[in-house]
A and B are shown apart, each in its own frame.
Chain A
Amino acid sequence: MNEHHHGHDHTDGHEHDHTPIVNEEKPGYYEILEISIRELLIEKGIIKADEVRKQIEVLDSRSPVLGSKLVVKAWLDPDFRVRLIHNGNAAAEEMGISIYDNTEFTILEDTPEVHHVIVCTLCSCYPRPILGLPPDWYKSKEYRARTVKEPRAVLAEFGTVISDDVQIVVQDSTASQRYMVLPLRPQGTENFTEAELESLVTRDTMIGVTIPRI
């Protein structure tokens, strides 16, 4: 809600550390709580300030670009596709992506007959080590409540119409599997470069609410 401003002065007499992770706007209650809990844990030697900073860097290093690279490699290399489906964590490691949270990265392979869409009705399970952090709508009540019972209507709200002769499988993620859709490669992309193919594989196509289109 508040943009990061660098507008305050130091006339209050308090010296404080302008480390990059501190927001300069006046914090609300929950931010004060977050700062307090973190500082108490650091003071007690339970965690180190550096660990939080490093984990922020890890979070920032993950984005849908990684997922799109996995998808395109699977489109172009049938052996990689098999390895990716058989063991998502190992295939991700092959591409230099470490799964840092003890979860099982699991591919849901779309076919001409079957389309997958992923939701976590109970919370917000999402393949964060691959795709980064989920969008707010994925965590919203409406998406979590309705996708399991009316997937076609929800997909239509994203502009996606799944044909009546295609089966939809909704995956409600409740355990330690973390899912990503391997969407179908669109027709007419036979001469596309890897980069062009990757640009078709947006984050929403890997959740299953949209499909890759030229």
Chain B
Amino acid sequence: MSSERLVKKLPNDIGGTGCSTDKVHIFERELYPWEKRCHALLDVLDYHKIINTEEKRRGTENIGSEMASQLSYYEKWIVSASNLLLQKGILTPDAIAVKTKEVAARFNVTL
């Protein structure tokens, strides 16, 4: 199969794929606190017209099929938001690098 399919078809465009043996895993869980904060953050950014919902969606699509399949729902949201804030010149890559290192140290975690 040629690679052009990866360009033409967004990784989230899955309507009609799969088969009858792909049973729906009827599962649900409470959001982790960080996921709820992430959701609220994107809502606040939308309200301020900094990142609208459609931009956020595009940001979860244009990460490519490998990331799209491996990242969870809210993991995609926060990566999307980060990339959009970089594209808009609101944050810089180094600011994110420095801050994540600081936050990780706060929790005694190595990145």
A: which residues have CB within 8 A of B? 1-2, 4, 12, 14, 16, 21-23, 26-27, 29-41, 44, 46-47, 51-53, 55-56, 58-59, 100-101, 121-124, 133, 135-137, 139-146, 148-150, 153-154, 157-158, 172
**20 A–B contacts, CB within 8 A, in A order:** A21-B37, A23-B33, A27-B107, A30-B71, A34-B78, A36-B102, A40-B91, A40-B95, A53-B40, A55-B44, A122-B57, A133-B39, A140-B25, A142-B24, A145-B14, A145-B18, A146-B22, A157-B23, A157-B24, A158-B26
Are A46 and B50 in contact, with the CB atoms below 8 A?
yes
Are B14 and A44 in contact, with the CB atoms below 8 A?
no
Given A34-B78, A122-B13, A1-B32 contact (CB < 8 Å): yes
Query: Which residues of chain B have C-beta atoms less than 8 A from A144's C-beta?
Result: 14-15
Are A46 and B48 in contact, with the CB atoms below 8 A?
yes
> Of B16, B50, B53, B95, which contacts A145 at CB under 8 A?
B16
Given A40-B96, A136-B28, A145-B15, A56-B37 contact (CB < 8 Å): yes
Are A31 and B34 in contact, with the CB atoms below 8 A?
yes
Are B15 and A38 in contact, with the CB atoms below 8 A?
no
Closest B residue to A1 by beta carbon equals B32
Q: How far is the CB of A141 from chain B (nearest CB, A)?
A: 6
Are B44 and A123 in contact, with the CB atoms below 8 A?
no
> Of B18, B29, B40, B109, which contacts A27 at CB under 8 A?
B109
Q: Decide if B7 is an interface residue (CB 8 Å cutoff).
A: no
Per-residue interface assignment for chain B, residues 83 to 96, with 1 indicating a CB less than 8 Å from any chain A CB and 0 otherwise: 00100001100011
The A/B interface has a contact count, at CB < 8 Å, of 166
Are B46 and A101 in contact, with the CB atoms below 8 A?
yes
Query: Which residues of chain A have C-beta atoms less than 8 A from B57's C-beta?
Result: 122-123
Q: How far is the CA of A140 from the CA of B29 in the complex (A)?
A: 13
Are A124 and B73 in contact, with the CB atoms below 8 A?
yes
Query: Which residues of chain B have C-beta atoms less than 8 A from A40's C-beta?
Result: 91, 95-96, 99
Q: How far is the CB of B20 from chain A (nearest CB, A)?
A: 6
Q: How far is the CB of A41 from chain B (nearest CB, A)?
A: 8
Closest A residue to B105 by beta carbon equals A14
Q: Kindly list 16 other residue pairs between chains A and B, CB separation below 8 angstroms, not including A30-B78, A137-B24, A157-B26.
A: A2-B32, A32-B100, A32-B109, A33-B82, A34-B37, A35-B34, A38-B37, A38-B41, A40-B91, A47-B48, A52-B37, A55-B43, A101-B53, A135-B27, A139-B73, A143-B24
Q: Decide if B63 is an interface residue (CB 8 Å cutoff).
A: no
Query: Which residues of chain A have C-beta atoms less than 8 A from B90's C-beta?
Result: 41, 44, 46
Query: Which residues of chain A have C-beta atoms less than 8 A from B29's C-beta?
Result: 136
Given A26-B107, A124-B73, A55-B31 contact (CB < 8 Å): no
Closest A residue to B74 by beta carbon equals A30
